[in-house]
Amino acid sequence: MKSISSVYRLAATCMFTAFSILAHAAPAGASPDQLLQEATLVLQQIDASQYTALWQETVPFVRSAYTADSFAKGLTQSRQSLGTIDHRSWASITRLTYLHDKSVPDGVYANVDYATQLRDGRIVYEKVSFQLASDGRWLFTGYAPRQDQVAAMQP
């Protein structure tokens, strides 16, 4: 008959193995919660005009296309076009894979789209876009406010 301690050891080993398998089963960047968290942080940086810090955390192809100043100028204009935000609610999360596309490097991308209510009562949409880095982190690629959701699926 097995002792209680050996049964506990066996159970602990089985649980460790199961958790290890589950941890390795989910591909990097698979969590929608992770994307929502990243998008929320980006929007907080944009709202606080922390454009230089955000530029430093963008994907390399964005940093090579824009200087920190031109990046900040573009985000400032985009964000100011909205006005005062009352609240945001995420509307959709879309993952896209691009291969051999002329506009963006190959990779996995994601868009987090928000329905944003402005203080004046209007509803606008904000798209925050990311590329999945090789280390599993989502790196910022772009921000696009707009009046409707038509362009929500494009990177």
The CATH architecture annotation of domain 29-146 reads Roll (3.10)
pLDDT tens by residue, 120-134? 999 999 999 999 999
Give the residue-averaged pLDDT of 17-41: 66
Please tell me the distance from the alpha carbon of residue 130 to that of residue 141, in angstroms, as a whole number.
Answer: 5
> What does the buried/exposed string (b/e) look like for 84-105 if buried means 16 or more CB atoms within 10 Å of the residue's CB?
ebeebebeeebebeeeeeeebe
Domain locations along the chain: 29-146
Please tell me the distance from the alpha carbon of residue 6 to that of residue 12, in angstroms, as a whole number.
Answer: 10
pTM: 0.76
> Do 76 and 49 contact (CB within 8 A), yes or no?
yes
